[in-house]
Structures are given as structure tokens and as C-alpha cells.
């Protein structure tokens, strides 16, 4: 998810990036600000107290971020209006790490027509693996 955020930022600011695949990420900065040349994009806040433990003891982080639609966080959006290449957004609709479908839709609404496409998979979680890979419903993230 952080890699998708970085990839989207690279597509926005680096003209040599002509194609980007974004998998279950955000279109707003979270965790750390993005600093590039004279630009600084602040992160949206997150609230660790909103973490939920599932019945198997896994962490459900899907509600920890502030609502990116709140105008107070508009400065945290990656300025995808500047993307020059094509972006493929891939989301798992059952992602319990973050609401990746919402972040993809918010980005696509600001992008030039024809510059992006959304592949959305109901029942898929945060990890989108290659075809024929075994399903991974819960995974470990170090940190």
C-alpha cells in the first residue's frame, strides 16, 4: 500500500513515468509527509485507537485514517491531475488495511479522462497475488 502511494507520486511528479500499476494503496499521503523539491504534502492523520482485532487476532486497520473527503485534508491529496501517463488502479473490495477502493475513486475523479482504469475485485483483500496463487486472507506486516 505504501508502494502504491509512492508509485502514484512518481507518476505525478516524474515525466518519464508513462505507466503505473497501483495496488490497494492511497491517493493521499499517510504516515509521513512527501517532500519533493519545493513541495511538501502533509499526511492525513490516523487514529491508532480505531484498530480492531478480529476474531482470529488479526489487525483490522480499515477505519484508522481520517476521512480523505473532509476538505480539511485536501492538502494531503497527491496531485494526480498532473499525471502524464496511464494508471491502472487494482483494488480488493474486502481490503481491511484501508479503503483502497475509495482512495482509487477519489484519485480517478481528479485525473484526466482516459488516463486511468479501475479493476475492482469483490472478496479480495489487501494482498492481490498473481493468478493461480493460493488465497491469503490474513498476512503479517513487519513493523
Which residue among the candidates 27, 76, 100, 126 is catalytic per the annotation?
126
Which residue among the candidates 1, 27, 76, 100 is catalytic per the annotation?
1
Cell of 120: 475492482
Which residue among the candidates 76, 95, 97, 100 is catalytic per the annotation?
95
Q: Give, in order, the Cα–Cα distances in Å from 108 to each of 19, 70, 130, 138.
A: 15, 17, 24, 28
What is the secondary structure of 68-136 as a DSSP string? TTSGGGGGGB--GGG--SEEEEEEETT-SS--HHHHHHHHHHHSPTTSEEEEEETT--S--PPTTPPP-
User: Does the annotation mark 1 as catalytic?
Assistant: yes
Measure the CA–CA gap between 128 and 104, rounded to whole angstroms.
15
User: Does the annotation mark 126 as catalytic?
Assistant: yes
User: Does the annotation mark 95 as catalytic?
Assistant: yes
Q: Quote the Cα angle for 112-76-66, to 5°.
A: 115
Task: Supply the residues annotated as catalytic.
Answer: 1, 95, 126
Amino acid at each position: 500500500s505504501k508502494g502504491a502511494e509512492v508509485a502514484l507520486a512518481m507518476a505525478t511528479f516524474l515525466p518519464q513515468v508513462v505507466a503505473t500499476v497501483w495496488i490497494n494503496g492511497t491517493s493521499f499521503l499517510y504516515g509521513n509527509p512527501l517532500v519533493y523539491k519545493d513541495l511538501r504534502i502533509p499526511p492525513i492523520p490516523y487514529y491508532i485507537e480505531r484498530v480492531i482485532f478480529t476474531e482470529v487476532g488479526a489487525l483490522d486497520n480499515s477505519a484508522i485514517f481520517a476521512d480523505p473527503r473532509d476538505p480539511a485534508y485536501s492538502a494531503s491529496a497527491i496531485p494526480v491531475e498532473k499525471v502524464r501517463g496511464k494508471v491502472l488502479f487494482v483494488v480488493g473490495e474486502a481490503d481491511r488495511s484501508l479503503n483502497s477502493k475509495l482512495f482509487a475513486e477519489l484519485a480517478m475523479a481528479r485525473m484526466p479522462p482516459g488516463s486511468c482504469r479501475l479493476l475492482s475485485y469483490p472478496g479480495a483483500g489487501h494482498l492481490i497475488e498473481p493468478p493461480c496463487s493460493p488465497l491469503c486472507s490474513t498476512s503479517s506486516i513487519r513493523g
